[in-house]
Structure 1
């Protein structure tokens, strides 16, 4: 579906409306890093699904020179299909995709949070972003939080750019404290004139181990709100249901955990119930209509299920 004046404002339409005179199509860069910014691997795995859905192809990325302490970010040993031993080193990859019926491309950056020389690392990212005509940045992250696994996991959207907040109706971040590479990248990108949007999902801290499919779903639902991109979430939704059932079984076997989960449920319900709200219902309905309106939507008669 192409975007016109009657379509809701998305991040891609916002970027497309800005003046640019490059021969390379403008792009929005979505970034995620394994490590401190990525509880339950939710952000990096969400980016992997975006890459699959968009058909993004690998392009030259960021060098590995002197950015990693390999005793902290350990290389991983793998076996190839032929049984040959292979070592996978921590690194940062970039991919590019042309979104159908959109004037804006996607550039995806997925890597491991570096150990050293963060300023030089960010400088390399922004240099590559300029070469790819990146006009905005979206950062995906996940953090451990006091939230129950039995409730829908929320993903917050913030921006420090007043124009982005006004156009997209998102909030300014009020966070102060330790930050990771995403926070540094967002600040430096903003200072360099690149509008930046951050999406963070919450992961229940008592089930922090990967994977965290419900947190991935929260991130991907929000990503779909800002791009003309439909991601097949059927398998991930089934994984999220299975994950919740598994955690339920574990909680049943531990009375302390069960009582703690019940306490978190009460606290969240008391906070959200008064506003449970028209806004949340309207946002979900808008997302539903948006997915149905796309030609490749499985719910559409012309989509894969109707062909």
Structure 2
């Protein structure tokens, strides 16, 4: 028996509970499905910001709630809780929910979001594919983010993959063939493709020196890609507004450090040369097709984080939370 023929020993449908009351009232057939999972390479906290924005800004109701106790390893990824003087509060339990949402123009869609499962990937994948078949989903689009040696002063790029050429061609700023650690999104995309379902995935490129902090422009880029793929009007104004403050802070910090400014200039030159069509393997490649020196890139990260820490007390919480904005469009 090959891996592709593997069938879970337990019923995949028992992993979730359906909202039968909602399903009796609405017809979900033919909807588009968006997906975002936290727990894997969330550079710039893109997935977290997108999930928060959609859940807070749009009307949504749960369609299916997954049993996270069967899917999450709590000791390897411990939930957060607040200790305040002599009390514990705000326990943030993991969740994994399929929502029915309505965009700004009144168009309904499905949104699967929450913690990436630690366990039972094959069974979970079967469960999701079953829901896709049940609701005859038109298109599945998902997003994640990766750190890349690109400057924040240029349009954000993305690596796009899937089986819809019209959503892929002319967008990917980086194309390569390599073996990577899989995320559940990759596994689902692979299985959806094999099942003949329309699927597309977007890996947003986040400047590597900003990957540890919230970077709203990258979240906006992700929302724009998802919205364009699924023909949805997704909210981004709040992220754009907060992002403007973040970009001002970054500009001030780069201008205040000759070392960081020098590295950003080199990244700009590298980016521009690649955009002009100079033959290179990818944006990762430098002169003579060599990868940038790790120490040089690491110095930029350390310098940026140090300058950010020293500047943090001067900023209010509102000013330090990020913006969207210059997502690449085609």
Is TM-score (shorter-chain normalized) higher than 0.5?
yes
Q: Does the C-alpha gap of structure 1 residues 233 and 171 become closer, same or farther in structure 2, counting only changes over 3 Å?
A: closer
Q: Which residue of 1 aligns with 2:147?
A: 144
- The separation in 1 between residues aligned to 2:233 and 2:263, in whole angstroms, is 37
SS of the residue corresponding to residue 68 of structure 1 reads: coil
What's the Cα RMSD here?
A: 3.2
- Please list the CA deviations of residues 128-164 of structure 1 after superposition, one character each: whole Å capped at 9, or x if unmatched: 33333323211111111111122221234332x2xx2
- Please list the CA deviations of residues 28-67 of structure 1 after superposition, one character each: whole Å capped at 9, or x if unmatched: 1111111224212202322333345542222222221332
Q: Which residue of 2 aligns with 1:207?
A: 210
How much has 1:258 moved relative to structure 2? Answer: 2.1
The answer to whether the 8 A contact 1:213-1:239 is kept is: yes
Q: Which residue of 1 aligns with 2:32?
A: 28
- The separation in 1 between residues aligned to 2:30 and 2:253, in whole angstroms, is 48
How many residues are treated as equivalent by the alignment?
251
Q: Which residue of 1 aligns with 2:80?
A: 76
- The separation in 2 between residues aligned to 1:167 and 1:254, in whole angstroms, is 40
The answer to whether the 8 A contact 2:141-2:230 is kept is: no
How much has 1:121 moved relative to structure 2? Answer: 2.1
How much has 1:215 moved relative to structure 2? Answer: 0.4
SS of the residue corresponding to residue 56 of structure 1 reads: strand
Q: Which residue of 2 aligns with 1:15?
A: none
The counterpart of 1:219, out of the listed 211, 218, 222, is 222
The counterpart of 2:236, out of the listed 229, 233, 237, is 233
Q: Does the C-alpha gap of structure 1 residues 270 and 99 become closer, same or farther in structure 2, counting only changes over 3 Å?
A: same
Q: Does the C-alpha gap of structure 1 residues 55 and 188 become closer, same or farther in structure 2, counting only changes over 3 Å?
A: same
SS of the residue corresponding to residue 101 of structure 2 reads: strand
How much has 1:196 moved relative to structure 2? Answer: 0.6
SS of the residue corresponding to residue 27 of structure 1 reads: coil
Q: Which residue of 2 aligns with 1:89?
A: 93
Q: Which residue of 2 aligns with 1:301?
A: none
Alignment of 1:102-117 (within 5 A): 105-117=108-120
Q: Does the C-alpha gap of structure 1 residues 101 and 262 become closer, same or farther in structure 2, counting only changes over 3 Å?
A: closer
The counterpart of 1:176, out of the listed 175, 178, 190, is 178
The answer to whether the 8 A contact 2:37-2:113 is kept is: yes
The counterpart of 2:49, out of the listed 4, 27, 45, is 45
Segment of structure 1 superposing worse, 164-173 or 126-135:
164-173
The answer to whether the 8 A contact 2:65-2:97 is kept is: yes
- The separation in 2 between residues aligned to 1:250 and 1:47, in whole angstroms, is 29
SS of the residue corresponding to residue 139 of structure 2 reads: strand
- The separation in 1 between residues aligned to 2:129 and 2:200, in whole angstroms, is 16
Q: Which residue of 1 aligns with 2:201?
A: 198
- Please list the CA deviations of residues 90-124 of structure 1 after superposition, one character each: whole Å capped at 9, or x if unmatched: 2212211255878x741101111222222122222
The answer to whether the 8 A contact 1:93-1:110 is kept is: yes
Per the normalisation by structure 2, the TM-score is: 0.66
Per the normalisation by structure 1, the TM-score is: 0.70
The counterpart of 1:134, out of the listed 122, 134, 137, is 137
Unaligned runs of 5+ in 2: 1-26, 279-325
